[in-house]
Amino acid sequence: MTTTTQTRPEQDLPTTPFHKLGGHPVMQAIVNRFYDLMDSDPAYAELRAMHAPDLAPMRASLASFLAAWAGGPRDWFEQNQGKCMMSVHKNFTISRDVAGQWADAMRRAIADVAPADAQLATAMGGVLEDMALGMARS
Ligand code: HEM
């Protein structure tokens, strides 16, 4: 049996941040750069240690989440019904320092990929930083 994800009209509009930033290829490029940085820069060692050795599932999941979050296809929410980003992280003890590592690596990844809409890309980094810091509990 083949299942198809139902699309909403706004996903087809080129006005969403998802489309303006370049769609899936750009989301995936940002996420790949993010995990490459996390995996290689000692500044993110504490953050890296919280993740499983194999980052491949995270590369797929975070790219899918960012696409949906930015107004693109809703696959991540369809596949993770009832979950939100805060509930996904509720069992992790996230310090402000580690949240800062996440935000810093993401901001660098966005800058390195350099989506054409630079202003929107920078704004996305700022909102994601707020989200990451909002997960910090100590
Ligand atoms: C604040 C710092 C953060 C820390 C320390 C953190 C840590 C983690 C860890 C340890 C996992 C599980 C990884 C694994 O099993 O290998 C995870 C999963 C995930 N995180 Fe984060 N995270 C943070 C912020 C964020 C933010 C801001 C987002 C979204 C913009 C995000 C998106 C995700 C996604 C999509 C998953 C996978 C969920 C799934 O597929 O079940 N994380 N995170």
- Residues 33-66: tens digit of each pLDDT: 999 999 999 999 999 999 999 999 999 999 999 9
Domain ranges of the chain: 20-134
- Which of 89, 104, 124 maximizes ligand 1 atoms within 8 Å of its Cβ, making it the mutation to test the pocket? 89
Higher pLDDT, 53 or 6: 53
pLDDT category of residue 2 using cuts at 50, 70 and 90: very low
The residue whose CA is least distant from atom 26 of ligand 1 is 132
Average pLDDT, the chain: 93
133 CB under 6 A from ligand 1?
Answer: no
Mean pLDDT in residue range 81-99: 95
Please give the CATH number for the structural domain made up of 20-134. Answer: 1.10.490.10
The predicted pLDDT at position 1 comes to 41
The predicted pLDDT at position 138 comes to 80
From 109, 15, 11, 99, select the one nearest 59 (Cα to Cα).
109
In the three-class reduction of DSSP (H, G, I as helix; E, B as strand; rest coil), residue 64 is classed as helix
126 CB under 6 A from ligand 1?
Answer: no
Record the tokens describing residue 136, joined without a space.
């910090």
Q: How far is the CA of 89 from the centre of ligand 1 (A)?
A: 6
The CA dihedral of 24, 98, 128, 38, to the nearest 10 degrees, is: -20
The residue whose CA is least distant from atom 12 of ligand 1 is 51
94 CB under 6 A from ligand 1?
Answer: yes
pLDDT category of residue 5 using cuts at 50, 70 and 90: low
Record the tokens describing residue 88, joined without a space.
């996904």
Q: How far is the CA of 115 from the centre of ligand 1 (A)?
A: 23
**Which pTM was predicted?**
0.92
Is the confidence at residue 25, as pLDDT, over 50? yes
